[in-house]
Structure 1
Amino acid sequence: MSSVTPEWDTMVSVGRIARPHGNRGRVIVNPDTDFVEERFHAGNALFVRRGDRVDRLLIRDVRFHLHRPIVAFDEVATMTEAEQLASAELRVPAETLERLPAGVFYHHELIGCRVETVEGASVGTVSGVEGDGGVYRLVVEHGPTEILVPLVEAICVRIEPAVGVIAIDPPAGLLELNPPSRRSKRTRRRS
């Protein structure tokens, strides 16, 4: 595995290696993307951080089992090498992401956006996006609580990631649904 120049913090997460698969260096990946087949196919490069260096991994082969990629990398030949990658996050440079149609956003673009009502009242800050299969929710940090806001046009009436603002028109009671509690550790898709 060779070190490369992309800055880790400027890259986007596309998954995490769950564990080795077999004894020939394959790994099972828990994808963190809506574009699984586009991100995980032979010839694509993914990046992994190991200590203070970022390594490039080239996908040699991939197959899918239960919607999870089982990946063989050129740089990983043994089960021992694959074990060393367990739990490692896989990223791609943000500039390699395809342009989306107007009004469609990558999840990582929404994280950090300030959420406010159409009247201008502050609701909180987006800390994640959860869900899959077309039903997504913004996870909005609001003091010690999280508010889940359905990511639908009827509620999220203006989304401007470039400005860092999402304006919502919440139905009555939505903002009061979550009682004060510790923040949960939800699985969130970002790209």
Structure 2
Amino acid sequence: MASSTDPLLVARIGKPHGLRGEVTVQTHTDDPERRFAPGTVFATQAAAGTGVPRELTLATARKHGEIWLLGFEEIPDRTGAESLRGTRLLLDLDGVDEDEDDDEGWYEHDLVGLAVHDPAGAVLGEVRGLTVGAAQDLLEVKLTDGREVLVPFVEAIVTSVDVEGGHVVVDAPAGLFDLDEA
């Protein structure tokens, strides 16, 4: 489980957009307008050997339809933007406003590592990640038998999230964990 000093995942970089170094991003924040302010310095997390700078300074941010496009001071062109694909943009939690903790959402770093229990308390597996979707988010869960499944992150199925207690409760409808076997 993440500690309070872990950085906050704000976005994952997708493909380049245009010729001037802009990239698409998959947002992991409920307040992109505030997070994507020009001048914001993001720590980066990328695969070894990609040459991605340890920090990127946001130069531009705009929405194109439903997709956020970001440009960085360090990335002048499409070739540089291509090298960023898959990079995670992180913010130091010391820079996050305290009032953000008042919302009812969770960040991926809050959820990864939590045990997954059924309503009776039996351990089903562990949360491995969070996939942010247009319609709904999905918990990436590794079951105790080694299979990996996606669980819709909706109140009807994920009935309880107890970050301090170290677990989530999943009331899975019949067949949810067997979809890959169909």
Q: Same fold (TM over 0.5)?
A: yes
Contact 1:115 1:166 survives alignment (8 Å): yes
Q: Which deviations, in whole Å up to 9, do the C-alpha atoms of 1:133-184 show, x marking residues without a partner?
A: 563332321123234444333443332112211134x26xx254333859xx
Q: Which deviations, in whole Å up to 9, do the C-alpha atoms of 1:95-149 show, x marking residues without a partner?
A: 4344332643223211210011232211111122335356333232112323444
Partner of 1:120: 121
Calculate the TM-score normalised by the size of structure 1.
Answer: 0.69
Contact 2:158 2:169 survives alignment (8 Å): yes
**1:23-172 mapped onto 2 (5 Å cutoff):** 23-24=19-20, 26-35=21-30, 36-49=32-45, 51=48, 55-98=54-97, 99-101=100-102, 103-133=104-134, 135-142=136-143, 143-168=145-170, 170=171
Q: Which deviations, in whole Å up to 9, do the C-alpha atoms of 1:17-68 show, x marking residues without a partner?
A: 33444443x2212223143333223122222246488622111222221322
Contact 2:119 2:169 survives alignment (8 Å): yes
Q: C-alpha distance in 2, partners of 1:18/1:104?
A: 24
Partner of 1:5: none
Contact 1:17 1:29 survives alignment (8 Å): yes
Structure 1 residues 115 and 84, CA gap change in structure 2 (3 angstroms): closer
Structure 1 residues 119 and 93, CA gap change in structure 2 (3 angstroms): same
**After the TM superposition, which parts of structure 1 deviate over 6 Å for at least 4 consecutive aligned residues?**
none
Gaps of 5+ in 1: 1-8, 183-191
Q: Percent of aligned positions with the same letter in both sequences?
A: 25
Q: Secondary structure at the match of 2:120?
A: coil
Gaps of 5+ in 2: none
Contact 1:49 1:89 survives alignment (8 Å): yes
Structure 1 residues 61 and 124, CA gap change in structure 2 (3 angstroms): same
1:177 matched to 2:167? no
Higher strand share: 1
Compute the RMSD of aligned alpha carbons. 3.2
Q: C-alpha distance in 2, partners of 1:124/1:91?
A: 27
Contact 1:127 1:139 survives alignment (8 Å): yes
Aligned partner of 1:66: which letter?
G
Q: Which deviations, in whole Å up to 9, do the C-alpha atoms of 1:67-107 show, x marking residues without a partner?
A: 22222222223444334334433222244344332643223
Partner of 1:11: 7
Range that drifts further, 120-129 or 142-151: 142-151
Q: C-alpha distance in 2, partners of 1:105/1:151?
A: 11
Aligned partner of 2:155: which letter?
E
Aligned partner of 2:35: which letter?
R
